[in-house]
Structure 1
């Protein structure tokens, strides 16, 4: 890749159908993977959060220090955000006792705050402006908050709202379809729609992940968390290999 080409490319992928397929698989893996450590391996929410936070920080450092877009590094970092998001949300909701509603409110505030500070500092929250270490740092902090919010929102929908895992999946699937329709049929900012879709894919993955591994009496399929996580990880690796991974073009 020439220097001239490098200067007009970001280190995040172009948003395509393949991007969203991999994102949903990654968020589902985040749920089953997070539950594997905290529940199946009995490490608890706090210790699991510490472990995943360490992986997340290491992945972010590698991603930011990279000179160009690397699909494996990028998607590894995404998976790290969604696993730490799962255990962190569960810790806040359950161990701290603030409940799903309190967790959703707190995390939504943090997400909006992150986007607001990012916009105020750099003038845009578009992924097409993620071309510097500072913008990347804002990008990954915002994603981590969105992944954590998605876990809490998925749990709130399935449990507090009483929709169950299947009902929650339908709700978030319909909302994503509406966002997609707005993208093609309205003049709503594509940046706003991107972040709306990015946020909504996380609770969709959360309820699908819970549906796969929760007990049958709780409305799940009671599948092995280890097996489900392994299958999802293999599906992500295959998708990254099959779907063309191109960096988004940088705009100023």
Structure 2
């Protein structure tokens, strides 16, 4: 019985190169799709957030009720967090007027609090342990905060810090490369490095998404948000179909 427990599969995928490729594509899709609904459709940030929050709740409930890991359901839920994170961050930063720095600071505090409560409740924040409803709730709340933080941080870097979309992409790519180097060349906590990389992929996706669809005079390529979102979605679907992702094993 103990042997079975030790080998219980979690309900999240193994962290491999394809995981990170899909994650970056999903975060970029979250930016373009979120902007498509709130800006291109002129629904506004508040209504856009309400729409994506409803989708997110349905996806999370389905994910928690599911038995075992299902790649399409998992990545649908991830995409839902990126889209609601985009519109929610934009609503807080722009509509509420707290600014990118204020929004980033608030969301960073919420993210750290979520991880701290998760750790205190279950003794670990490793994704390998996400196999119970309680762990899943903490997992998705933490991801929700990280996705929203990433949007605000990406916008702050590109706009307020004046680096532009290209400069922001270089900064976050360099930070991700640094995390990868630390992973391969040191014995620093793998859980810490995972969450660091997970958080950093969101602002990278934010600035890349803005680079694709923002006007040329603002430093973007002025591509259609709808077509960019469609291409990214097709890429994600193909990756899921042909990558044969498996669930992470507890204790690994």
TM-score per shorter chain, which class?
A: over 0.9
- Which residue matches 1:78? 78
1:71-113 deviations in Å (ceiling 9; x for gaps): 0000000000000000000000000000000000000000000
- Which residue matches 2:48? 48
Could you say if the C-alpha distance between residues 70 and 238 of structure 1 is closer, same or farther in structure 2, counting changes exceeding 3 Å?
same
The alignment partner of 2:149 has SS state of helix
Q: How far off its partner does 1:242 sit?
A: 1.6
Q: Distance in 2 between matches of 1:8 and 1:52?
A: 32
Q: How far off its partner does 1:8 sit?
A: 1.4
Do the aligned partners of 2:85 and 2:148 also contact (CA within 8 Å) in 1? yes
- Which residue matches 1:237? 237
- Which residue matches 2:183? 183
- Which residue matches 1:31? 31
Q: How far off its partner does 1:6 sit?
A: 10
Q: TM-score, normalised by structure 1?
A: 0.97
- Which residue matches 2:166? 166
What root-mean-square deviation, in Å, do the aligned CA atoms of Structure 1 and Structure 2 show?
A: 1.2
- Which residue matches 1:133? 133
- Moved beyond 6 Å, runs of 4+: none
1:7-29 deviations in Å (ceiling 9; x for gaps): 61000000000000000000000
Q: TM-score, normalised by structure 2?
A: 0.97
- Which residue matches 1:210? 210
Do the aligned partners of 1:6 and 1:68 also contact (CA within 8 Å) in 2? no
Q: Distance in 1 between matches of 2:212 and 2:141?
A: 28
Matching of residues 149-164 of structure 1 within 5 Å = 149-164=149-164
The alignment partner of 1:240 has SS state of helix
- Which residue matches 1:16? 16
1:195-219 deviations in Å (ceiling 9; x for gaps): 0000000000000000000000000
| Residue ranges of structure 2 left out of the alignment (5+ in a row) | none
> Does 2:233 correspond to 1:225?
no
Q: How far off its partner does 1:5 sit?
A: 8.8
The alignment partner of 2:27 has SS state of helix
Do the aligned partners of 2:7 and 2:249 also contact (CA within 8 Å) in 1? no
| Residue ranges of structure 1 left out of the alignment (5+ in a row) | none
